[in-house]
A and B are shown apart, each in its own frame.
Chain A
Amino acid sequence: MNILVFVKEVPDMEKVKFDRERGVIDRGSAEAQINPFDLNALQAAVDIKNEVGGEITAMCMGPSGAEDSLKEAIARGADEGILLTDRAFAGADTWATSFILARAARKLANFDLILCGEMSVDGDTAQVGPQTAEFLGIPHVAFVWEIDICDKNSLEVRTDLWNSTYVKEMELPGLLSVTKDINNPQLPSLQDKMSARKAEIEKWGLEDFADQGIDEDDVGLSGSLTRVKNIEVPPKTGRDSQIWEDEVEIGLAKITDLMREKRRI
């Protein structure tokens, strides 16, 4: 089964500093890394490959430096990496991102399954997966936490909706977005890391899509249908904390009163 995995390069959100004055994140404050959810997608691809064979292609849209994330994807089991990089791709919203990813998938042509993380930790929209599927006219299931291979034409997957788990069958080609519950991503070995460092990453820019009739109005900020008009930094919402360190009994009495007030006891 040939699998295409979408990866995004994001700042380490656990470490990144935020400039409240200017309303932007300080990208210099944290290293770029592969979006954590995409590591689950990569691992899911590796697990499927181990079961039924096939090729894994990792694809990323980003600046030229995102090559490093694709090399890491190769260290983690991808067979090759393709970087969509062009000044014209910058500033894309989810519409313009999924548009170019779908066109790139079409250009690649040879895939049975597309896997992506449920969302990116910096964008937090969860939209790009389903939107790419719609552009490609293929089925998708989002927030998947288990994949079983039925045969070479279909997969059986599990996903949670409302308060239940649903079992769905998806025909191939199709797209799945996966949650972190699907697996535990394995760390690449030092040897895999070393050899991935030498891997050639294919780069596709806007001119590589000229044969599909795509120009700069279709991509990046100019191809987007949403615009950030304004950034508001909300005031820090502290609470008037009452803390008891020595006179714990007084605090507990106060808390008990509060609970009685809320009419539960």
Chain B
Amino acid sequence: MTDAYSGVLIFAEQNRGKIHPVSYELLNKGKLLGEDLNAELKVIILGPEGMDVDELIYRGADEVYYIKDESFSEPNLIDFKDNLEYYIEEKIKPEIVLMGATSFGRSLAPRLAIALEAGLTADCTDLKIDRSDSRLVQIRPAFSENILAHIKTTSEMQMATVRYREFAEADRDVSNTGEIIEEKSKLRDDSGLKVLDRLADQEVNIAEEEFVVAGGRGLKNPGDFSLLKELADLLGGEVGASRDVVDQDFISKHHQVGYSGHRVKPVIYIACGISGAPQHLAGMKEADTIIAINNDPSAPIFEHCDYGIVGDLYEVVPALIDLLEDQMTRK
């Protein structure tokens, strides 16, 4: 190993000038890795003018590269790749590059890794430094989360995408100091890609909800989601769904929780009429508290919940709503 590459670099993702929270989660982990390596923690952010990049310093960055261009308000993926390639290779030369495993990160990181000739591990849930050789150990679930693979990279630069909401955000401390280096973007004339339009934001963002009331095959009709919606509204949460009912068009895919849907990490997850297939569990098993309502006592969900009610959801959910409303009026 030469000394040319050193330090930990975080790619801070932003959406129309707003920093994505996964960036702060990466800063938290990156700080620990940097301490183990006795190396600096750097951030690169590509965004429009006028972003509050001081926030990245408050969250622990020693150095922030802020590459400014109005075009970065849109996800022009190849422009992002070109600029990251240039600044990482020519200016920053980090030994570790971390990106969020969001849809954007999972599309951008693979291209960038080829351009940088760096090995890349997808969707890591933990990272640590092997003290024997100061190399990064990248830990990711594999085979439907049955195993955790520990992966090391043989190229000098080591890259990983990290699952969103896996780590806590870095603490904010406004007394932190660091350097902000502002640079201009380098854009090519024709990348072969154009963003034509952004359609209206979706109303549902199930991954961010703190209370999720989810329905599965136990629901008889699409309209019965209104029952779950009533409970979700009482709790200030949102309705989720298993794949079965999404495939049957009971509800839109934006509500789908599971391996092929969204991963959620709410304070309380209420599974109503959901049997608990491994593919569904993969999306909600990190919830703080899991409550299961199912009329089949042998349903696997009862082995993965904190509280379980064996009963017909059409009786149990209204009873629960009554109890909650009762509490509220008494208060």
Q: Using CB atoms and an 8 Å cutoff, list the residues of chain A in contact with chain B.
A: 13-14, 16, 18, 20, 23, 25, 93-95, 98, 122-131, 133-135, 138-143, 156, 159-171, 174, 180-181, 224-234, 237-245, 248, 251-256, 258-260, 262, 264-265
Contacts and interface: CB of A to CB of B under 8 A. Distances in A.
Contacts of B253: 181
Task: Identify whether the interface residues of B are mostly helix, strand, loop, or mixed.
Answer: mixed
B267 interface: yes
Given A124-B123, A239-B304, A248 B316 contact: yes
A25 B331 CA distance: 54
A166 B197 contact: yes
Interface of B: 15, 20, 75, 77-78, 81, 102-104, 106-111, 113-115, 117-123, 137-139, 142-144, 146-155, 190-202, 205, 211, 234-236, 253, 260, 267-268, 279, 285, 289-291, 297, 302-311, 316, 319-320, 323-324, 327-328, 331
A181 B260 CA distance: 11
Contacts of A234: 147-148
Contacts of B103: 142-143, 159-162
Contacts of A25: 143, 146
Contacts of A265: 234-235, 324, 327-328, 331
B202 to A, nearest CB: 5
B309 A248 contact: yes
A95 B113 contact: yes
A131 B137 contact: no
8 contacts: A94-B120, A166-B199, A231-B149, A234-B148, A248-B316, A252-B323, A255-B307, A264-B211
Contacts, number: 238
A18 B260 contact: no
Given A94-B120, A258-B268, A258-B289, A168 B195 contact: yes
B199 A164 contact: yes
Contact of A229 (B142, B152, B267): B152
B198 A165 contact: yes
Contacts of B147: 18, 23, 231-234
B110 A131 contact: yes
A130 B111 contact: yes
A239 B309 contact: no
A20 B146 CA distance: 8
B283 to A, nearest CB: 13
A187 to B, nearest CB: 16
Contacts of A124: 122-123, 142
A148 to B, nearest CB: 11
Contact of A241 (B199, B268, B306, B324): B306
B192 A264 contact: no
Contacts of A237: 285
Contact of A252 (B102, B148, B198, B319): B319
Nearest to A181: B253
Contacts of A225: 117-120, 153-155
Contacts of B75: 161, 166
A251 B309 CA distance: 7
A157 to B, nearest CB: 10
Given A162-B102, A228-B151, A131 B111 contact: yes
Nearest to B120: A127
Nearest to A159: B103
A175 to B, nearest CB: 10
A220 B131 CA distance: 28
Contacts of A168: 193-196
B320 A252 contact: yes
A132 B331 CA distance: 61
Contact of A239 (B113, B149, B306): B306
A170 to B, nearest CB: 6
B211 to A, nearest CB: 7
Given A95-B114, A162-B104, A253-B323, 4 more contacts: A25-B143, A130-B108, A131-B114, A242-B306
Contact of A258 (B102, B146, B307): B307
A241 B113 CA distance: 44
A227 B195 contact: no
B309 A252 contact: yes
A169 B196 contact: yes
A170 B193 contact: yes
- Give 7 closest A-B pairs by Cβ, nearest first: A225-B119, A139-B192, A125-B122, A142-B107, A130-B110, A134-B114, A230-B150
